[in-house]
Structures are given as structure tokens and as C-alpha cells.
Chain A
Amino acid sequence: KAGVTQTPRYLIKTRGQQVTLSCSPISGHRSVSWYQQTPGQGLQFLFEYFSETQRNKGNFPGRFSGRQFSNSRSEMNVSTLELGDSALYLCASSSGQRHSGNTIYFGEGSWLTVV
């Protein structure tokens, strides 16, 4: 079956602009998580959505937001972009059952450069 699909793969934005990234999870998966990866901070959890509700949230400012649609597809938005938001943004999906043994599948990520 198809894996986690993220679009766009690469994008360049200017400081102060906003950006929306999209993620299509594996068919049947109801949990979608977002992560930010930078050379300095590594991989950091942003938030998780399950059945259109935010279930977990990481320690990021309110400029970072997300949502999930009824078909489980998810978008994340970053407003008022800063240079430090340049990163690889990864989406991950899983069945979302409430235990810790779920396998989580990652997409290839969206590379965001802020200039």
C-alpha cells in the first residue's frame, strides 16, 4: 500500500510569510503526527492529530498549527516565518490505537528554507 505522502517536497519562503504543508497518511491510519528536524535541535515532536482532534502537542510557539480532515489527511501551518524555521518537516502516521506498540511510518518530509 502507498506510504505517507508529503507535499511539497521542497519550498523556499521569505521571512514573515506563512506556509502550509500537507500530509496524506497511509490508508486506514487515523493518527498523524508532525515533527521538525534541524541540525541543531534534532527531531522534535510538533503535534499529533487523531480523528480530527489534537491529541498531543510539543513545545512549539503558537505560530505552528495543524489540523486534520475527516479523511485523516493533515496540514500544518507556520505563520510569520522566521529564519530558524528552516528545517525538514516530517509527517508520520499510525493506526493511533491508545497504546505504545504502534508502528509509526514517516514520510520523506518537506524541506522548508526561509530566506
Chain B
Amino acid sequence: DAKTTQPNSMESNEEEPVHLPCNHSTISGTDYIHWYRQLPSQGPEYVIHGLTSNVNNRMASLAIAEDRKSSTLILHRATLRDAAVYYCILSGGPNNAGNMLTFGGGTRLMVKP
């Protein structure tokens, strides 16, 4: 499975934008890029996903590099409730016939008031 690389931790100030980077240089043409986040003592929560084009939803935006070897999750205005571990995950490939996600270490986002 293609792997992702994320910084271990990042800090942000409340109400400022946050850009969470993810490198996936071995991504295949069929891999989707997923972002999930996990708040303390909860299960992971879907944030956003995309294949080639940038995506927006009510939670965040996903910017995908033209060569798809990296992506950035953008939180437009961080709140204290956004403090969580953010996982960038690739899903797909010829051996993933189902819905198996391979989680890395993620980025722990700390939001300062």
C-alpha cells in the first residue's frame, strides 16, 4: 500500500487558517486521498476525500497537487474543537478490493486560544 508522510504535530491559533500537509509520493492512479480526524476518546471522523481535483465541504478544503504526490488539508478558521489527530490516508490500489484504511501516525493539531 502506498504510504503517507505527515508532520507529527502542528500548532495553530484559534480563528486562524491551518494548512496540514501530507506527502504521498508513491500514490497510484486509482488511490483516493482521504482525511480523517480523531478527537480524544472518540472514533475517527471523516473530514474530506478527493481523487484529483480540489474539494470543499463544510468542514474543510482539500488541495491536491497537480502531480498528486502531495496534498494539503485546509481548515479555514481553526477552533478549539478542531484540536485532534488528523490522518491522511490513501485508499485504493489493485489489492484493496474493499474499504480497508491504512492509518499512519497522523498529525496532532493543537489549537491555542
Contacts and interface: CB of A to CB of B under 8 A. Distances in A.
B30 A100 contact: yes
Interface of A: 4, 31, 33, 35, 42-45, 48, 50, 55-56, 58, 90, 92, 94, 96, 98-109
Contact of B98 (A43, A48, A90, A103): A48
B61 interface: no
B99 A33 contact: yes
B43 A56 contact: no
A100 B45 contact: no
Contacts of A4: 43
Given A42-B105, A90-B43, A103 B49 contact: yes
A44 B102 CA distance: 7
B53 interface: no
A7 B86 CA distance: 26
Contacts of B92: 99-100
Nearest to A103: B46
Given A42-B106, A104-B46, 12 more contacts: A33-B100, A33-B101, A42-B105, A48-B100, A55-B97, A56-B100, A58-B100, A96-B98, A99-B92, A100-B30, A100-B96, A101-B51
A48 B102 CA distance: 13
Contact of B32 (A58, A96, A100): A100
A33 B42 CA distance: 16
Of the candidates B30, B31, B103, the one having the most CB atoms from chain A within 10 angstroms of its own CB is B103
B49 to A, nearest CB: 7
Contacts of B98: 31, 33, 48, 50, 55-56, 96, 98
B23 to A, nearest CB: 18
Contacts of B49: 101, 103
A28 to B, nearest CB: 15
